[in-house]
Amino acid sequence: MILLCDPRVAAVPGVDDGDPLVDLRDVPELRLDGRAADPAGAYARLRQGMVDRLLAAQRTLPDGLRLLVIEGYRPYEAQLNIFTSYRDELRRNHPDWSPQRVYEETTKFVSPVEVAPHSTGGAVDLTLCTADGSEVDMGTPVDATPEASGNACFTAATSIDAPARRYRRIMGAALACAGLVNYPTEWWHWSYGDRYWALMTGAPHTRYGPL
């Protein structure tokens, strides 16, 4: 498992091709959830290439299922606040852990700001829902931490029940076929064009840099 703190991620050359941000509130084909909404509407924005791939993925889902987008673009300050908050929580809960272990465990849930996929507009947190918008059971809530879920938030977790594993496979197959890459400690997190995507796909550089 390659974590976002791996030096190979930061070593990927950064290039931005200028692909614009799209506001998902103007894309009726994709259902957008409001739980991560911010006053500026950053949560609803994704790069055009990512939006195109989400639409392609959704078209391959079985009848009765749709993607439910939770969060897209995340500004630097918001990313830093989430990172430091979870890091400090782990420090309090595990005073015996070394600083390096605290850092690595933190990155299983939230990316270091210098390589953060969400800050490029090329990453999305999402789940599946039914045609009427009801979320299906994916085994844990979106944004369940490894600490709280006993690692059930890991995409390949075997501790969840069979229906949840099936839904994760369905969503994963659709998104992977559309060219997205999953962060394996978070079943809901998928990206395209960022450093993690480039490393995992063998691309020579990113498509998207931080915004």
pLDDT of residue 137: 98
The token pair that represents 64 in the structure block: 């009765």
What string of pLDDT tens digits covers the 211 residues of the chain? 999 999 999 999 999 999 999 999 999 999 999 999 999 999 999 999 999 999 999 999 999 999 999 999 999 999 999 999 999 999 999 999 999 999 999 999 999 999 999 999 999 999 999 999 999 999 999 999 999 999 999 999 999 999 999 999 999 999 999 999 999 999 999 999 999 999 999 999 999 999 9
User: Per the annotation, where are the binding residues for Zn(2+)?
Assistant: 118, 125, 189
Concerning whether 186 is annotated as a catalytic residue, the answer is: yes
- Domains recognised in the chain with CATH numbers: 16-201 (3.30.1380.10)
What share of the chain in percent tops pLDDT 90?
100
Q: Which residues pair with 8 in a beta bridge?
A: none
**pTM score over 0.85:** yes
- What is the amino acid identity at position 201? T
Q: Which of 105, 114, 135, 186 is catalytic?
A: 186
Which pLDDT value is given to residue 10?
97
Q: Where are the alpha helices (DSSP H) in the chain?
A: 7-10, 48-59, 76-93, 99-106, 146-149, 162-177, 195-201
Binding site, residues? 118, 125, 189
pLDDT digits (tens, 9 = 90+) for 151-186: 999 999 999 999 999 999 999 999 999 999 999 999
